Amino acid sequence: MTALKAYSTEISRVLVLADRGKADVDDLVQRLEPFLRKRVSDVVVEGDLRGWCKAADKRGGVPVGEAPDLVVVLGGDGSILSAVHAFASCPVPILGVNFGRVGFLASVPTSEWRPALEEVLEGRSMIEPRTRLSVSITSGDEAPIHDIALNDVVLSRGSFQGMLSVGMEVDGHWVSDYRADGLIVATASGSTAHSLAAGGPILSPTMGGFVVTPICAHALSHRPVVVEPLSEIHLIMTECLGVVTLAVDGHGFYAVQAGDELTVKAHEIPYPLLSRQGSNPYRRLRDRLGWRGSFEAADIDLGPSKEAPLAGEGEVL
């Protein structure tokens, strides 16, 4: 797991990306904006988060003018993914305030926005370097298509098509031919998303490796595989009926056909997400997934006492 370090850069330009489609976001903007303007020289608030991010994505993740020192995202994990793609070519640290249902990426609860921002501005917040995936799609003699994912790349069949067959090699070594509804390659960040729903393991957030998870595999022996961070995964679409789609973080969608090849490896630059000092990723897992540490005494019948019986008690009559 990559060691965390403090984000101690002097901050003078802050971009706030607000998903105003979510309840209570406007109320927080009204409090957050004056808070920031008292502390930094340049604050820009964008209320149409998805529209702004789509426009930036079309520019290839290159910002117009000077890049901000900090991006504050008010939304859910999908909003964080949009912002990460908007700054794909020049990663800017992102602090996510969670207005979504889960919040693995948008790690700051709405009740903690003020102390979290104070920590960032005072150089006390921590950078969580999140591994990204670099994916290349090659189809015949056409020029390869390139994209970047923070969470995952997902190959999936159409609703009315049969299973697809995908061959996989890792570092030039053949692994297996999967026959399944699809295949997921996920980073540690994405291990709690689609891959988890398909039965994959949870990886520590800043872990460099990634996991390959089949979706409804025909062979029961096909299990998720965790791959080393420096490995290169090569996927070959050997057979498919109808439409097959490659989804990149649920944002970029590409049609894939038999004979196409995909190369997936770790991007050379991880994305810097910010978290509070002392933040515990395992507590975040417990909170988000509803895990319980133990049974409450009131919830379970412990049965008769195991203490030794007193004289005359417990004898067979």
Task: Please list the active-site residues.
Answer: 77
Residue 109, Cβ density class (10 Å: 0-12 exposed, 13-18 middle, ≥19 buried): middle
- Match 């994916």 to its residue by tokens: 135
Helices (H) and strands (E) in the chain, counts: 6, 20
* Dihedral, 64, 65, 67, 68 alpha carbons, nearest 10: -100
* H, E, C per residue of 158-192: CCCCCCEEEEEEECCEEEEEEEECEEEEEECHHHH
Structure tokens belonging to residue 24? 């209570």
Whether residue 34 contacts residue 117, with contact meaning beta carbons closer than 8 Å, is answered with no
Structure tokens belonging to residue 120? 């960032």
Residue 277: closest CA among 94, 124, 93: 124
Whether residue 185 contacts residue 234, with contact meaning beta carbons closer than 8 Å, is answered with no
Distance (Å, whole) CA 70 – CA 15: 6
What's the Cα-to-Cα distance from 216 to each of 86, 181, 182, 244, rounded to whole Å? 32, 6, 7, 15
Count CB atoms within 10 A of the CB of residue 165.
Answer: 16
